[in-house]
Each structure stands twice: as structure tokens, then as C-alpha cells.
Structure 1
Amino acid sequence: MICLSEDNLRGLVHVVDDDVTLADGLSNQLKSSGFDVQNHRSPAAFVQARREAEACCLLLSIEFPTANGLDFQEILPAVGIHLPVILMTQHPDINWSIRGMKAGAVDFLLKPLHEAEVLSSVRTALQKDRERHAEDARRRKADAKLARLTARERQVMGHVVRGLMNKQIAGVLGLSEITVKLHRGSMMRKMAVRNVPDLVRAVEFSGASVLAH
């Protein structure tokens, strides 16, 4: 685990560039600012040797002898890599910039790089990755709560989320209203929510399908 600085800015930065001089200089700058850095000479090398950390980002060059950084950026989600990407290039091509941003790039930096711009972009990217990890943790927690529900409780929850009242749910499921209340109470306790709006948010956040049948 990476130790964070007081202002919560540190993290692991993956630098992917075949320009050894530039990559080493960039690495030294980032390390002097308290970041952990791992250099990779190609996208393939990054995939093979990358380390994980509490917060990571990717400083990715576009130009490689046998690869294109934009192509690599676009396939990252498909191979299970969801790190924030900062693109670097020697050529101020507006089409490249648009393509990179549409693919979710945090920033598009022109070489020669300026230290202040790099540090600002890296801090933004690392914060985005921390937020992603926090969201993933909340989703896992919500999914764990859903997993505790019985099949009947999930049915009741589906109808509650749709806005049905206990009497209506009882009619749909062929249960007594008292039985519905019992299932509903148990479901709300397991989901750790106090009201329907909180339940709806929890279900939406988890991304689970709770449509009642």
C-alpha cells in the first residue's frame, strides 16, 4: 500500500514511453514530488510488468515505433485495466486530442513537458482513481447486502423500488399484507436503509437487477 502525503496526492504513476531520456527525467521529477513511479518502454511492457497500488494513473505516450498509444488506450477497458490516462505527444494534432478525450483521457500534454502541468494532471488522475476505488468498494458493500436477501425479500424489494404499497405488493405476490410487512422489514434491515429513497439509491448504486416478477 502506498503511504499518502498529508494533502493526499501521492500514488503510483506508470510512465509508458520509449524515449529513455524523457521517461527517466519525468520519473525523477515525479519521485521528487513524492510519487511512486514505474517506467515501461512500450504498452506491452506495461501490461506485463505493471504494479497495482491504492491509486494509480498512466502517463502514456502516443508515438511508438510499432504501436499507437491511442489504440492502446482504447483497448484498456477490454483487458480489465481501468486506470486514468494522461496522453503525451510531440504533435499537437486536434484529431488525436479529440479521440483521446472521447476515450476518457484526463489530459493531453505536449512534449516537451512542463513540470507544473504534469504534476497537476497526475494529481487529478490519481484523485479520479481513488474515487473509482471508493465507488467500487461501496458497490461491493451494496452487493454483499443484496446477497443476504432471501428470494422473497428480493421480490418484495423489487416492488417497493417500483413504488408499490404493501397492500399492492400483497395482491401481486398472493400474500397477506402482514407477511409483506415482515418481509419488507427484514429486507430494509439487511439493506441498512431507513426509507424507500435510500433503498432506491442503494439498489441503483449496486447495479443489481431487482425487477419484480
Structure 2
Amino acid sequence: MDTTKSPSTDEVAEWVYVVDDDLSVREALSSLIRSVGLNVETFSSAAAFLAVPRKSSPACLILDVRMPDLSGLELQALLTRAGICIPIVFITGHGDIPMAVRAIKHGAIEFLAKPFRDEDLISAIRSALARAHDDQHEAQEIARVRQRFEQLTGREKEVVAYIVQGYLNKQVAAELGISETTIKVHRHNIMSKMNVRTLPDLVRMMEKLAPSESKPRK
């Protein structure tokens, strides 16, 4: 791993990670990225990048396509399988259309062929960091919803799964073999614990969780 970073080490700041096996490219990109006020950290290989714990700050990855051992596309696939969400901007001097299509299809923000304009790279980085902020916000929201959902009792979790599928109280009561009055009590408790006022709000909130949580268990 290179030690090139911007002067700021603020953990809440945005970060740009550069992975390229060419030292001259890493140095040039580092200088460019720092010139627009962004924190940057460079790595000579995918393995070096994977060996260092990621910061919790919004970040993006500038990734060379062709590298020894583990290619950029292989690293992208590995990160996806591991559930690591980080927006990627690919750069390459040997790219082709099928390669670019594959990268974009799997979530890359941009695929830039060398030589590219500095403005194009900075624009791609800005887009990637905006995506990173959105992803982080969404992850935090899902965590909040999950925390509220886990406050429900086992029976309330069964009831909410039917409610968000559009079942009426009497239908839920019939499915679960309990009274409609009891369902109404559960429904009131669910709305209170999930901190929502309307059914559409509850449905949208439950959609943020895994699909299995919003479907009745048969």
C-alpha cells in the first residue's frame, strides 16, 4: 500500500481509493484528486486494497481493469459477493466495449479509457461519491427499520407480514386462528413500534427489509 494521502485525515470526510499497479499513474491520480480537496489513498494491487480495513466514511474506488493476480473486474465481483458496497470508476488503457458493458452492468459508475480528461475523471468521482452518500443513507435507514422490526413480538411479526400483503383484519384473524379484536390490538402495537401512521408508510418501511420479512409464513 502506498502512503500517499491528502493532508486531511478526518474520518467523516469523503475518501477516494485508487488501485493501479502503475506507480506513475497512482502518483498522477493522487495529485489530481488531492487538488480538488478530496482525501485519497492509493494501492498497488487488489490484494493490498483488500488487506486494509475500509473507513466508515463515504468513499469510491478508482480501479484499473488489468492488473497482475486479481484484475479490476475480478475485484469488483469479489466485492459484490462479499456484500461490500462501494461505487467504482474503472480506468483502462486496454478496454473494449464488452468489458465496459460488463463493468457497468455490475454497478460501475463509469468506464474511462486512457488517456482521459482530468475533468471526466473528477466528474465520475463526484458521481461515485454522491452514490456513496445515497448508499450510506439507505443502509442507515434500513438499520433503523430493522431495529424497530426486532422490537415486534413473534405474533406481531406474523401479523405485519399479512397486513403489508393487503390482508384485512378478519382475513389475518382467520389465517392465524385468533380473534379480529386481537388482530386490531396487534395492528395498533405494530404501527406504534414501527413509528408509522398509515398503512402505505408501513408497507414502504417493510419493503426496505429482506423480502422474507414481508411475506406471510405458510
Stretch of structure 1 that moved more, 203-212 or 144-153 = 203-212
Residue of structure 2 equivalent to 1:8: none
- Aligned equivalents of 1:172 and 1:50: distance in 2? 48
Say if 2:141 is the partner of 1:138.
Answer: yes
Structure 1 residue 50, shift from structure 2 partner = 5.0
- Which blocks of at least 5 consecutive residues in structure 2 are unaligned? 1-9
- Aligned equivalents of 1:66 and 1:168: distance in 2? 58
Residue of structure 1 equivalent to 2:151: 148
Counterparts of 1:42-57 in structure 2, within 5 Å, are 42-57=45-60
- Aligned equivalents of 1:67 and 1:173: distance in 2? 53
Q: CA RMSD in A?
A: 1.7
Of the three residues 27, 32, 53, the one matched with 2:30 is 27
Residue of structure 2 equivalent to 1:74: 77
- Aligned equivalents of 1:160 and 1:170: distance in 2? 11
> What secondary structure sits across from 1:108 in the alignment?
strand
> Contact between 1:140 and 1:206, CA under 8 Å: does it hold in 2?
no
> Contact between 2:173 and 2:179, CA under 8 Å: does it hold in 1?
yes
Residue of structure 1 equivalent to 2:197: 194
Structure 1 residue 2, shift from structure 2 partner = 4.0
Stretch of structure 1 that moved more, 43-52 or 163-172 = 163-172
- Aligned CA distance change for structure 1 residues 62 and 50 (closer, same or farther; 3 Å): farther
- Which blocks of at least 5 consecutive residues in structure 1 are unaligned? 5-10
> Contact between 1:38 and 1:50, CA under 8 Å: does it hold in 2?
no
- Aligned equivalents of 1:3 and 1:180: distance in 2? 45
| TM-score with structure 2 setting the length | 0.88
> Contact between 1:15 and 1:37, CA under 8 Å: does it hold in 2?
yes
| Residue correspondences, number | 207
Task: Report % sequence identity.
Answer: 36
- Aligned equivalents of 2:72 and 2:152: distance in 1? 45
Of the three residues 15, 29, 52, the one matched with 2:18 is 15
Stretch of structure 1 that moved more, 115-124 or 146-155 = 146-155
Residue of structure 2 equivalent to 1:126: 129
- Aligned CA distance change for structure 1 residues 51 and 183 (closer, same or farther; 3 Å): closer
